[in-house]
Every structure is written in structure tokens, then in C-alpha cells.
Amino acid sequence: MQSPDLSGTKRPPSAARRVRRSRVQEGVPYPLGATWDGRGVNFALFSAHATKVELCLFDLNGRRELERIEMPEYTDEVWHGYLPDARPGTVYGYRVHGPYEPAAGHRFNPHKLLLDPYAKALVGSLRWNDALFGYRIDSRKEDLSFDRRDSAPAMLKCRVIDPAFTWGEDRAPKIPWERTIVYETHVRGHTMRHPLVAPVNRGTFAGLAQHEVIEHIKGLGVTAVELMPVHAFIDDRYLVEQGLRNYWGYNTIGFFAPDPRYLSIPFVNEFKEMVARLHDAGLEVILDVVYNHTAEGNERGPTLSFRGIDNASYYRLLPDDPRYYINDTGTGNTFNLSHPRVLQLVLDSLRYWAGEMRVDGFRFDLATILGREAHGFDPSSGFFDAVRQDPVLARAKLIAEPWDIGPGGYQVGNFPPGWAEWNDRYRDTVRAFWRGDAGRLPELATRLSASGDLYARRGRRPWVSVNFVTAHDGFTLHDLVSYNDKHNQANGEDNRDGHSHNLSWNHGVEGPTSDAGVAALRERQKRNLLATLLLSLGTPMLLAGDELGRSQRGNNNPYCQDNETTWIDWSAIDEDGAALAEFVRELIAIRQAYPVLHRNRFLTGEYDAELDVKDVTWLTPAATEMGPEQWGDVHARCIGALLDGRAQPSGIHQVGADATLLLILNAHHEAVPFRLPEVVGGSAWLCLIDTAAPRRNDPPTVVSGAEYEVTGRALLLFALKPERCTRQTLQSLAELIQRESHGG
């Protein structure tokens, strides 16, 4: 298709009324974006294929275009200019000229106002309109047609910021990986129904920074708050037309700007204040980031930023037909990290959030995309190599969602050293075991041991395995034990969306029940799942609200439910919810108090002849070691794990001094008598956790060699009572756990 003749095209009325004439200087090509230097603002925009770039200035509300300025210089594929009279607060956007040749991968259209990819703040909101598209939606030529309507009235705009902020004595908590416990939450959903948060602050960074909100999170004992996407994102048009919104935020349009809906005031420093307050509470901040695709979708999507700036550079296009996009993400497009300028943008964004905004780590959505080269996924890709050598990012916590829908997209265990990974194998195995599925013991033992089959190579450590049983994507913990099937009708897709393979169990009744027996069993199963998670080797991740029994009424894909379906209802916490939260505090306190539960070495079960010890011994209910016959028994549903504190805790070959623990998991529906083993160093076992009796004030002590009746569907944790243990020793241990449970 030939480029359209734009010479006779009318400019919108706002352009015709322009009277301002700003002073313009050459400026510099670096840094990219709009940079205030104390005297003026430098503007720099990368586009390899543009023929002209216009900087558009607007009034403070972004409603009226005041002036268009042709960028005066073009250096190394960067268009740049300097406005000595511009100041922080200046509202702007770009119009980029060039060929409109979709068949060649070019989609320039200067009638479309474009967001600066490096914009640090956005103004207004996007109002869906056909003018946002570079082609005429009603044309028979589809995306090969050309639309001359001005999109500015419907578009978001960019705002120049002054990054100055007084951090005071802020210090990053720097929690060691082996001590890390992640708490995944949503900025909006966490506080929208919090009675102690002022209405104006609910659903914002300011709300999350409120003392009472932080105290709950800190009081659980978790060490890191992982926020679902906060980068500026778009509500999909088809959702808006149904009265829904993109609640989760995996639809990014700006990688530097926080989404305006999370700001109670129009200043991005609100985010910094939140970080400072979380740091002051000893909590790290991890951002869920989406660098694999953008909100512009496929060839029929809108022209909002990257597509109109340089489509052929920013996106992966089909080599033999660049009109179309490679869709390894399932969202219509794939960001092209093989291009050096696109790779630079992602790295600049990460450095900005880790440096200027002081976040402590990142969880990467569909992270396989980041390692895709022309030949497929590569753990030595340009992105991974660049991150590894970067002095800022090398100190950040990096967590991969290690899959996408592209060919060879499932890459669990294949990310490079320094990266942690979401472990869906852990999730599925633990769910299936507690559901009562047959033949799960061998894999359960591997998952409880930090999945060494996946990660124990290249010097990687157990913390690499980010263990979870629930996350934002899927059932909540309460729904996992309350529904056999998904109930996503409210999403408007006839319940076709969301996974159907949930490994869930309703325990005899679908959804809410008045049956006391069913309700009690569900509560015990919640405790079983939480205890398994928090007592496994690896990095545990909790879903916010699970500690309170939050339900989404069976919706396992509430990505578009920005309402009471997803918001935590703090005022409706009942006795069971309060008890469950206290149980989580106790579990985390025990985990942190016993080094053997967060050792930085994989459990192997191998015998050390010199030390005469195994790090873990897997036991049958008869207290005998599991052998091939027992591992192969598909009907067995009860197992014990003896974690010997004498095993070497580090690479130094020496006897350890940790406490010895015994973990028993019984997924059988009936009680199982379990003989407590006789172990060197002690003659009795102190029961720390029994999910069938979680509120006992006086935990029992059981003599070694005696049988203990393990309730059906229950988990127990015992600590070996040292031979010379006194009442004072037990009191000291109780005080230690108490301190841990209160953040001491």
C-alpha cells in the first residue's frame, strides 16, 4: 500500500488556534523522555523510521492543544529538542510522521496523539473512540485503510515531573532470600473496603501506606509486599462496553508512569511515600511488571504509543508478512526485546523503579518472552545477560513467571542463576495431595524439598522455587476448598474463560454451606494448605486475603471484576477468618525461628557417612524409612519428613546445630497412627502444629517410639525435645516464636 498524501490534510481546530511560540533549542539525545534539569526540559524520542516528529503541548488539564513544535534535531535515531521555558507540570504528547505501510510493518499516522514511552506521569483518562485507531474501523480495507481524525481529545497525555523527593533515612530492608516470604496483593483491592482508610485514599498508594494497613501485613510476619501491576494500563474497549474494567492491570501502556487511578493526588511521589513507609516497617516492595506486550493489541488495535512511534522496531512481526504480529503472549502482540532500543527501554524502566522509586524487586509476567531470541528461549539472551551485569538490577530480587503460550514456552527450571521462579509444579502437587489424589507421595516429597529436580544446578539455591498454592490467577484459598468448578459468569464470557483444571474440592457442597461438618473440614484443609506452604523449603508466596478466608464466589479469573468480588472486605472478617490469620502468624513465626525450615541448601536425603546423618529421611507411619515399595504404593496418603538438625547447614563440612523437626502429612480421610521415631539427641517430641487442633494452649509432648493418632486430613509438626531440655529452655523457645510472630 502506498503512503497516503497528508499534505492537504486539515489540522484539528485546536491546532489552528495556536498562538504560543516556545523557544526551542537543539537539546541532547540522552536521556530519552522528558527531563527537567532545573532550567528547562529536554525532550528525546527514539524512532528509527519516522520522517518528522512533532511535540504537542497542552493546557494543564490536557484538554486543549496549545502548540506543536517540530523536533529540531535527529541524532542516532533519536529526535530531540530543548525547551528552556518548560517546567515540571508541562503536559505533552507526540505526533510522529512517516510511511503508513502496514504490509511493510509501518503504521505512522500523525493524526494520532502518542504517549511518550518514557513518560513519568500521565494526565486524564483514555475515552474509547474510533479516532484512537490508525485505520478506519468501518472500512472494507480494514487496517490497510487510513484514518485522519484527531485522537487527542480521547487520549491520555504525558506530564513532565520534578523527581525531587526527600527520602530521609530510608533504607532498603535487604531481607536475605532464604528469609523472604512474599505477600501478593492489589493496590486497589486491598483497601477499597478498609473501614480505617479515608474514602479519598481507598484503592491508592496512600491507602496502602496507612499505618493500620501496614500493621496487618507486618503483623503476619511476611517480609515482602508484591504489588500487582501499577504501571499505567488501559481498560480494554470490549470490557468498558460491558461496564467492566481491566482490574488486574496486565495491559500496560506506560512502563515508567504509575497508573493515575492509584494516585489520590496527581503527584507520583505518593508512590515513593508508600515505599518509604513499607521500608520503615521492614517490608520489601516487589512490583509485578509486564514487559512482554502492550495495550495496543494486534493489527486491529488502537494507535496509542509504540505502534505510531515505530511499529517495526517495538513489536515482533511475522517475518514473511510484517502486517501481522507474533502473538506469543495471547494478547495480540509481543514486545521485541531483540531490538537494542526496546531492550534499553525495558532496562531503563527497571533501573528507574529500582533506583529512583527504590523498589526491591520485580516479578516478570510471562517472563519466557524476555528470553526469546530468533531461535527461541535462551537463558543467555541479551536481556538476561544485560540484567546480570547491571550494578543496580543485580541487587534486586528477580522472579520469573516462567511460561508463555508460544512454542517452547514452558521453561520452569530453565532461567539463569540469580532468578527465582514461580513453581506451578509445587502448586499442583500440593493441591492434588490434599484433595486426596492417589500416587502423589514421590512428587510431594520433591516439592517440599524445594524441587531440586528443577533447580539444583548451576549453583542455584532452594529460594529459587517460589512456592504457592494460590495466586491472583485462580481460586482464592477459601474457594479452592469450596468449589469443584469455576463460576465466571460475571465476566461476560459464558464461563468459558479461566482454567478448568483447578485441582479443587468442594468437600461435598458447591459453594457456601450451612453444614457445620463441611465448614469445619474446609477450615482444616485451609490450614493444611497454608502449613504445607509455609513449612516447605523454598520461598513461600501468600495471596492477600487468604489469611482471612476471602472468597471470590467461585470466580477463578476475576481480571475484570473491579468490585466487591475482588476487594477484601475487612469489616466482614468472622471468627474463622481471625483464627486463620492468627494461625498464619504462628506458622511464619515457627518458620523463621527454626533455621532448618529455611536452609539455603537443597534437601537430598543422601547419607553422609562421615557425619553419620541424613538431611531428610522420609518415613512411613511405622517410622521406617520409605523404600521403593512404599514410594510405589499409590494408595498411601500419609508420610513423614524427619529434618535432622545435625545435617551440615552450609558448604562447610561440619555437624549442624539446628533443631530437629518431624513433619507429618496425612491426606487420608481416616486417622492414621504414626510412630514418632527415636532420634539421636532427644527422647521426646514437642507438638508445635496440629491442624486438627490449632488452638491448644498446652501443646503435648510425646515420648519417642510412641504412636500418635494423626487425624484424617491433618498436618503436624514436631520439634525434638533435647535430652537436657528444661522448662526454662522450652519457655525460651516459646518466647522466641512469640517474638517472631510479632515482627521481633
Residues designated as active site: 365, 401
Dihedral in degrees, nearest 10, Cα atoms 19, 25, 29, 34: -40
Coil, helix or strand for 322? Answer: strand
CA 161/CA 91 separation, integer angstroms: 10
Strands 100-101 and 361-364, how do they pair? Answer: unpaired
CA 527/CA 719 separation, integer angstroms: 19
CA 423/CA 465 separation, integer angstroms: 6
Q: Which of 690, 437, 399 has the alpha carbon at shortest distance from 539?
A: 399
Strands 361-364 and 284-289, how do they pair? Answer: parallel
Strands 397-400 and 419-422, how do they pair? Answer: parallel
What does the angle CA 302 – CA 312 – CA 319 come to, to the nearest 5 degrees? 110
Tell me, what amino acid is at 602? F
10 Å CB burial of residue 226 (0-12, 13-18, 19+) is buried
Classify the phi-psi angles of 73: left when phi > 0, otherwise alpha if psi is within -120 to 50, otherwise beta.
Answer: beta
How many CB atoms are closer than 10 A to CB 210?
19
Please provide the size of the chain in residues: 744
Contact 284, 172 (CB under 8 A): yes
Those residues with Cβ within 8 angstroms of residue 45's Cβ, 6 or more apart along the chain or in another chain: 32, 53, 71, 78, 79, 80, 94, 96, 116, 117, 309
CA 716/CA 709 separation, integer angstroms: 11
CA 593/CA 726 separation, integer angstroms: 19
Q: Which of 210, 221, 148 has the alpha carbon at shortest distance from 180?
A: 221
